[in-house]
């Protein structure tokens, strides 16, 4: 999806000095996206720009669309990152300039690597638009290591049946990317990470060990979860303290995400939908997008996905 820039990142944070198991608790800021959707934005945050290589974290929905209505995120560019969409409910049609045109549904994963540059759109599929639907999910961006920032763009769809599912203390866990708890996802990334979705229909209790990853975070997508001694409501992220085993207790019906990984050694700049370790590369991408708009996307640095005719302008 497309990022909406904001200077309001200082809102609503709390640090828990009494609980050393938690470094920071982040409460999302509400943001309106292109396409008529309001999201809860967690990352980037002024006190914690990234968790490992995870540089962007948006929670969208549950959003109810009446028949004839739907999501319409117009074509927009990305560089220097991989985007990951995971749905709890609903469906999204994805088109990109690598030639992909498919629909993602709950439990599956769309993993798009922007690399040196890709353009994509995200819309409600025709069938769901006609019938109406509820849409609920998470989109994260993972910053690519420097050696891979200018890789060729790519897109891989992983059906739900291909992702490892295992039980953890009563929770059903789906491993979206990386390796964790003895399981390996088919989603590969050139840097140590793990990313999981958890459901606890009857409640759950487990522990995230200190050696699971150098940086770790828990996000509550629905319900309530106790992280260490802190009780988190829906929409909160707990960034876990290093070198500390942290117990997790999920109430019945909770949905949550676990993200972890090693920190990237270089600082990242994020502007709109563009991520890079080089600010000059961000400026070039901005120029390339404007040049492409002015040139009608014909023989220009960026093009539009097949069949798409509208696009998001460069933000002021």
| Dist. CA 111–CA 35, nearest whole Å | 21
Nearest Cα residue to 289 out of 119, 48, 45, 66 = 119
The alpha carbon dihedral of 238, 89, 29, 144 has a sign of positive
Average pLDDT over residues 163-192: 95
**b/e code 133-165 from CB counts within 10 Å (16+ = b):** bebbbbbbbbbbeeeebebebebeebeeeebbe
Nearest Cα residue to 81 out of 154, 131, 9 = 154
Phi, psi (rounded to 5 degrees) for 106: -55, 135
High-pLDDT (> 90) share of the chain, %: 87
Phi, psi (rounded to 5 degrees) for 130: -70, -35
Q: In Å, how far are 109, 168, 294 from 165, measured between CA atoms?
A: 13, 10, 47
* Strands 171-180, 183-184: pairing kind: antiparallel
Residue 296 has pLDDT above 60, yes or no: yes
One-character DSSP codes across 133-151: EEEEEEEEEEEPPGGGTTS
Average pLDDT over residues 236-258: 95
Average pLDDT over residues 215-227: 97
Record the tokens describing residue 136, joined without a space. Answer: 């609920």
Cis status of the peptide bond prior to 62, with omega within 30 of 0 = yes
Predicted pLDDT at 2: 67
Supply angle C-alpha 155, 197, 177, rounded to 5. 40
Strand order in the sheet with 92-96: 72-78, 118-123, 92-96, 101-104
- pLDDT tens digits for 72-119? 999 999 999 999 999 999 999 999 999 999 999 999 999 999 999 999
Residue 221's pLDDT band (cuts 50, 70, 90):
very high
**Residue 45 in contact with residue 108, Cβ under 8 Å?**
no
Record the tokens describing residue 73, joined without a space. Answer: 């995120």
Residue ranges of the domains in the chain? 23-294
High-pLDDT (> 70) share of the chain, %: 93
- pLDDT tens digits for 106-128? 999 999 999 999 999 999 999 99
What fold, for 23-294? Jelly Rolls (2.60.120)
C-alpha 45: how far from chain center: 14
Residue 166 half-sphere exposure toward CB, CA atoms < 13 A: 13
Question: 3-class SS at 226?
Answer: strand
**Residue 142 in contact with residue 193, Cβ under 8 Å?**
yes
How confident is the prediction for the chain on average, in pLDDT? Answer: 92
Predicted pLDDT at 18: 41
């Amino acid at each position: 999806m497309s990022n909406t820039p904001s200077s309001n990142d200082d809102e609503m944070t709390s640090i828990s000095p009494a609980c050393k198991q938690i470094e920071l608790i982040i409460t999302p800021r509400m943001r309106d996206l292109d396409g008529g959707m309001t999201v809860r934005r967690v990352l980037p945050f002024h006190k914690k720009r990234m968790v490992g290589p995870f540089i962007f974290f948006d929670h969208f929905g549950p959003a109810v669309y009446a028949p004839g209505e739907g999501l319409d995120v117009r074509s927009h560019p990305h560089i220097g990152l991989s985007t990951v969409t995971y749905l709890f409910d609903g469906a999204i049609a994805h088109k990109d300039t690598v030639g992909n045109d498919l629909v993602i549904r709950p439990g599956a994963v769309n993993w798009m690597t922007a690399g040196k540059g890709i353009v994509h759109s995200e819309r409600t599929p025709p069938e769901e638009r006609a019938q109406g639907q509820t849409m609920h999910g998470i989109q994260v961006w993972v910053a690519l290591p420097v050696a891979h920032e200018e890789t060729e763009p790519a897109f891989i769809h992983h059906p739900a049946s291909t992702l490892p599912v295992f039980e953890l203390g009563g929770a059903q866990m789906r491993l979206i990317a990386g390796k964790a708890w003895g399981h390996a996802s088919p989603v590969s990334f050139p840097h140590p990470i793990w990313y999981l979705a958890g459901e606890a229909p009857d409640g759950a209790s487990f522990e995230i060990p200190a050696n699971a990853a150098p940086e770790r975070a828990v996000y509550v997508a629905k319900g309530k979860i106790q992280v260490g001694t802190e009780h988190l409501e829906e929409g909160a992220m707990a960034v876990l303290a290093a070198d500390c085993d942290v117990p997790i207790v999920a109430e019945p019906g909770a949905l949550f995400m676990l993200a972890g990984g090693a920190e990237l050694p270089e600082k990242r700049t994020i502007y709109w939908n563009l991520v890079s370790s080089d600010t000059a590369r961000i400026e070039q991408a901005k120029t390339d997008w404007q040049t492409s708009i002015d040139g009608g996307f014909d023989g220009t640095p960026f093009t539009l996905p097949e069949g798409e005719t509208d696009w998001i302008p460069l933000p002021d």
